[in-house]
């Protein structure tokens, strides 16, 4: 069986199990950015940490069924499974990362945004370090004029995998607190010092609210 077929099989088996898990969860939504209101005029770049990726597939599909979503997924074998899985939730995967095919990925994401997609990015993926915001999201916001939407996710109970990011899986019947934080506008920068200041500012705004 080819790696692609294996990824598709894993997604076919996994998606129903995840939907069953998600159906048991209780959600608390804090919409500081008012994204549940009509679609914003400017494109939004949803940004959240890699270890919160799992629940965001459900959040987007359930709370924003009328909007098209896309997300950057690594070109690794694990990425192939994740890509096949997010497709089951109606989300378009764009394969690549800041380290492999970075320029191509940036172009594809820019095109998707111009086509009306909401772009979701895990800025510390695909290999970390955990909670370190890679510069790609800042570049993307600058070249598209998009506004960054920091999304915070906290679980009342969850399992943590022994991966570089401590990947989190909510336990059945857990409460999931989702905060759509105020929109962050990234201005154009004149040099590397200004760019780094913007990167650090956004990284700080995205830090886990409970401290980890």
Q: What percent of the chain has pLDDT over 70?
A: 94
Check if the beta carbon of residue 157 is closer than 8 Å to that of residue 141: no
Name the strand (E) or helix (H) holding 200: helix 192-206
Name the most confidently modeled range: 38-52, 74-88, 166-180. 166-180
Q: Which H helix or E strand runs over 93?
A: strand 91-95
Q: Is the peptide bond before 129 cis (omega within 30 degrees of 0)?
A: yes
| Segment 94-100 long-range contacts (CB within 8 Å, at least 24 positions apart) | 94/70, 96/72, 97/72, 97/125, 97/126, 98/134, 98/135, 98/136, 99/126, 99/127, 100/74, 100/75
Reading the block at residue 117, the tokens are 């997609």
Query: What's the rounded Cα separation, in Å, for the pair 59 and 177?
Result: 11
pLDDT in tens, 161-182: 999 999 999 999 999 999 999 9
Say what the pLDDT of residue 30 is.
Answer: 96
pLDDT per residue as tens digits for the range 105-150? 888 998 999 898 999 999 997 888 999 999 989 999 998 888 999 9
Inter-residue contact 93 to 71 (CB < 8 Å): yes
Average the pLDDT over 157-162 and give the result: 96
What are 183-211's pLDDT values in tens digits? 999 999 999 999 999 999 999 999 986 76
């Amino acid at each position: 069986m080819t790696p692609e077929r294996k990824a598709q099989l894993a997604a076919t088996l996994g998606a129903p199990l995840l939907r069953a898990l998600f159906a048991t969860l209780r959600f608390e939504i804090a919409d500081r950015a008012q994204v549940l209101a009509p679609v914003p005029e400017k494109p939004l770049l949803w940004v959240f940490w890699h270890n919160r990726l799992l629940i965001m597939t459900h959040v987007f599909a359930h709370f924003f069924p009328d909007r098209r979503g896309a997300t950057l997924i690594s070109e690794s074998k694990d990425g192939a499974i994740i890509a096949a899985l997010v497709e089951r939730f109606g989300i378009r995967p764009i394969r690549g990362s800041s380290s492999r095919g970075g320029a191509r990925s940036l172009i594809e994401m820019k095109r998707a945004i111009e086509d009306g997609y909401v772009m979701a990015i895990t800025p510390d993926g695909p290999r970390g370090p955990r909670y370190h915001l890679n510069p790609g999201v800042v570049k993307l916001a600058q070249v598209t004029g998009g506004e960054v939407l920091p999304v915070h996710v906290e679980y009342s109970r969850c399992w943590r995998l022994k991966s570089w990011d401590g990947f989190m899986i909510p336990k059945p019947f857990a409460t999931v607190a989702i905060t759509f934080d105020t929109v962050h506008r990234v201005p154009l920068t004149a040099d590397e010092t200004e760019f780094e200041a913007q990167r650090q500012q956004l990284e700080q705004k995205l830090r886990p609210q409970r401290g980890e």
